[in-house]
Structure 1
Amino acid sequence: KIIGMGGSAGGLLMGAVVNQAPELFLGIIMAVPFVDSLTTNLDHSLPLTVGEFDEFGNAKENKEHFDYIFSYAPYNNIKKMDYPHMLITTSLSDNRVLFDEPAKFTAKLRDYKTDNNLLLLKTEMNAGHGGKSGRDGAIEEIALDYAFALKISEKI
């Protein structure tokens, strides 16, 4: 089994694949993941929604776009099943993926998942979409990811 990792739109990918094939993964690491993609796409008042229509479509005005986004949207496709270990991080000052998306995703997973695997949510109180600032910020985030991977691999 593998450990998947993705951030932002890569977190969207991780959320979609973990819903579709959780058995392939020992764990998933998601950083500021765009996991409530349908709700975000429907809210044209959010700063980035309209500017991303070319990439994601316009679910509010196009039924085909709505159906397609719904088909993979991580939050909307959480099921009652076993999920791998998961580490999800978000940032309070992220203006691209608002902190409530990963929090809402994690809460729904806690209600639905049928296993005892780790499901961790960490909120960075002084960070944005790119993570912590400063020389040590990125090192701390990478260390957390490695510690999680080692823990679930039973290497520590």
Structure 2
Amino acid sequence: MTKHHVTTTVNGDTVEYLCDARETLLDCLRDKLNLTGAKEGCGTGDCGACSVTLDGRLVCSCLVLGVEAEGKQIETIEGMAQGETLHPLQCKFIDHAALQCGVCTPGVLVAAKALLEKNPDPTEEEARYWLAGNLCRCTGYDKIIRAVLETAAELREAS
């Protein structure tokens, strides 16, 4: 099988990898680049555990081929914190106990960050709708939504 050479930007760094034409972006991130934050929960794009942004658009990385990342900008959960400083969403998730087992949390955080970048003042309904593609079995959604809305309010106050 022919390997494809891919050059892309992940979390601000230019990276290269070789992949088969049918390998998913999720597999390439985890197996080629050792970025294991995104999880495979379903492999069909139904759970959101593998959420990343691709050129600023929220995607399920299990539904994107690794070769499609050529020349693109990818952001994963590993790029959310700035060094040792957690992103405000990560801090609020901790404050609100909006995480438990950790399978869905990276995808929820990436999706929530994408929401706040698109809409810095979401209503509760908008936040729930936006995060509906991220399934969580452990925590429950109220804690997650409260963390997102509080973060939005604090980020608006800070700017």
Q: TM-score w.r.t. structure 2 length? A: 0.32
Q: TM-score w.r.t. structure 1 length? A: 0.32
